[in-house]
C-alpha cells in the first residue's frame, strides 16, 4: 500500500489519542486537522514559541500555539510569515485556550510589488479585515479562495486598487453584510439606468432620488457605478476583471465600500490611511 500523508508523516493524525489524567481517568484528545491556511498574525509567546492567528480554508479563523515556532529548523520550516499560505496540521482545543499548531509547510509567501508600499499595505489591510470581520471556527472556503487570488493580484501594481474593491465586496457578501445594489431601500423599486442614486449605509443599500432626505446625506452613486458594484460583488463571476473603472466610478465605489466596512466593523480600518 502506498503511504499517504497521514500514514507516513502523521501516523496517528486521523485517530483520537488517549492519555491518563492525574485522577486516573482516560482522556481522549481531538484528532489532528489538516488543511490549507493563511497566516494573519504572529506574536512571540516565549523564547521558542509563537501564537499564530490563521484563516484556514475549511475551519474559519483560529488561534493556535506553535511550540518551537521561533526556530529556523523544525516542524514549521520558517513558514510562519504574515500572509503566507501554508499546509497546516493542528489539534482543536476541547474547551477554551489555544489550539495547537503542530506543523506548517509553506505553499506560497505573500510577495507584494518590490519597492511599492501600496501593495504591501494592501496585504496588511486584508489581514486587518479578516481579523476584525470573521468569526472563530466559521468556515468560508469561497472567501479563502478570493483572498488567495487577491494576494496574488497584489503582485501587480496595476491590479491593486481593483483587487481591493473585489475583496471588500466579497468579504461583505460572505459575512452577510453586502449592501443591496439592485433595489431602493426606501420604496423597494428597481434601480434603473440613467439616474443618480445614494448609498444609505445605515439602511444597507442604495436609495432612489425620491427617497433621499436632506437630513440623511448619502454617498452619491451614479448608475454606471451601481452596475460596477453589482459586477464586482457577483459570487463566482470573473466578469469584474474585464470592467474598467473611470476615476469617478472608482471614487464612488471606494466611498461605498469604506462606509459599509466601517459601519460593520464599528470603526474605520486603520490600514486605510496608508492606501
Q: Which of 109, 129, 158 is the last residue of a domain?
A: 109
CA distance 102 to 88: 8
CA separation, residue 240 to residues 35, 101, 204, 217, 233 (Å): 29, 37, 22, 29, 8
- Residue 77 sits in which domain range? 1-109
More confident residue, 203 or 28: 203
Q: Mark whether 90 and 188 lie in a shared domain.
A: no
For the beta sheet containing 205-207, the strands, ordered from the edge strand earlier in sequence to the opposite edge, are 205-207, 196-200, 219-222
Is pLDDT larger for residue 244 or for residue 9? Answer: 244
CATH number of the domain encompassing residue 99: 2.40.50.140
Mean pLDDT value across residues 20-45 = 73
CA 191 to chain CA mean position, Å:
30
What's the pLDDT score for residue 24?
A: 44
The answer to whether residues 115 and 244 belong to one domain is: yes
- For the chain, the maximum distance between any two Cα atoms, rounded to a whole number of angstroms, is 76
| Domain identity same for 41 and 59 | yes
For residues 97 and 132, state if they share a domain: no
On whether both 248 and 151 belong to a single domain, the answer is yes
Q: Is the pLDDT of residue 7 over 90?
A: no
At 103, list the grid cell: 506543523
Domain stop point among 90, 109, 128: 109
Asked if 160 and 81 count as a contact pair (C-beta separation under 8 A), the reply is: no
The yes-or-no verdict on residue 32 having pLDDT over 90 is no
- pLDDT at residue number 232: 96
User: Alpha carbon of 211 to those of 224, 227, 259: distances in Å?
Assistant: 20, 20, 19
Is pLDDT above 80 for 129? yes
Are 79 and 115 members of one domain? no
Identify whether residues 164 and 233 lie together within a single domain: yes
Q: Are 166 and 150 in contact (CB under 8 A)?
A: yes
With a CB cutoff of 8 Å and minimum separation 6, the contacts of 143 are 134, 170, 171, 174
Q: Each residue of 135-178: pLDDT tens digit? A: 999 999 999 999 999 999 999 999 999 999 999 999 999 999 99
What is the enclosing helix (H) or strand (E) of 35? strand 32-44
Question: Shortest CA distance to 105 belongs to which of 134, 76, 63, 135?
Answer: 76
Q: What is the pLDDT of residue 215?
A: 66
% of the chain at pLDDT higher than 90: 65
Q: What pTM, to 2 d.p., does this model score?
A: 0.85
Give the CATH number for residue 145: 1.20.1440.120
Same domain, 128 and 86: no
Phi, psi (deg, nearest 5) at residue 47: -65, -30
The number of residues making up the chain comes to 275
Burial class from Cβ neighbours inside 10 Å (0-12, 13-18, 19+) for residue 263 reads middle
Residue 1's pLDDT band, with cuts at 50, 70 and 90, is: very low
Last residue of a domain, one of 64, 81, 109: 109
Q: Is the pLDDT of residue 258 over 50?
A: yes
At 70-115, the pLDDT tens digits run 776 667 777 899 999 999 999 988 777 899 999 999 999 999 998 8
**According to the model, what pLDDT value does residue 3 have?**
41
Are residues 155 and 202 both part of a single domain?
yes
Residues 135 and 259 in one domain: yes
Query: What is the number of structural domains in the chain?
Result: 2
Same-domain check for residues 133 and 65: no
Whether 80 and 104 have beta carbons less than 8 Å apart is answered as: yes
Same domain, yes or no, for 45 and 143? Answer: no
pLDDT band at 192; cut points 50, 70, 90: confident
Amino acid at each position: 500500500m502506498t503511504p499517504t500523508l497521514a500514514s507516513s508523516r502523521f501516523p496517528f493524525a486521523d485517530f483520537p489519542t488517549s492519555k491518563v489524567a492525574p485522577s486516573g481517568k482516560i482522556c481522549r484528545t481531538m484528532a489532528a486537522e489538516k488543511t490549507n491556511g493563511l497566516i494573519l498574525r504572529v506574536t512571540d509567546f516565549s523564547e521558542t514559541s509563537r501564537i499564530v492567528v490563521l484563516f484556514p480554508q475549511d475551519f474559519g479563523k483560529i488561534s493556535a500555539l506553535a511550540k518551537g515556532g521561533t526556530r529556523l529548523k523544525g516542524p514549521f520550516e520558517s513558514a510562519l510569515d504574515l500572509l503566507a499560505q501554508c499546509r497546516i496540521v493542528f489539534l482543536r482545543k476541547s474547551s477554551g485556550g489555544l489550539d495547537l499548531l503542530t506543523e506548517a509547510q509553506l505553499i506560497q509567501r505573500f510577495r507584494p510589488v518590490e519597492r511599492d508600499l501600496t501593495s504591501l499595505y494592501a496585504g496588511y489591510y486584508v489581514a486587518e479585515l479578516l481579523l476584525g470581520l470573521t468569526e472563530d471556527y466559521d468556515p468560508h472556503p469561497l472567501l479563502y479562495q478570493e483572498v488567495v487570488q487577491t494576494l496574488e493580484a497584489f503582485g501587480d501594481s496595476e491590479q491593486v486598487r481593483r483587487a481591493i474593491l473585489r475583496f471588500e465586496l466579497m468579504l461583505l457578501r460572505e459575512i452577510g453584510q453586502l449592501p443591496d445594489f439592485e433595489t431602493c431601500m426606501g420604496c423597494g423599486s428597481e434601480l434603473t439606468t440613467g439616474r443618480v442614486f445614494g448609498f444609505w449605509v445605515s439602511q444597507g443599500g442604495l436609495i432612489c432620488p425620491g427617497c433621499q432626505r436632506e437630513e440623511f446625506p448619502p454617498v452619491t452613486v451614479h448608475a454606471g457605478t451601481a452596475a460596477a458594484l453589482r459586477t464586482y460583488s457577483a459570487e463566482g463571476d470573473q466578469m469584474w476583471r474585464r470592467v474598467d473603472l473611470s476615476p469617478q466610478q472608482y471614487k464612488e465605489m471606494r466611498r461605498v465600500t469604506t462606509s459599509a466596512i466601517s459601519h460593520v466593523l464599528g470603526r474605520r480600518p486603520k490600514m486605510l490611511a496608508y492606501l
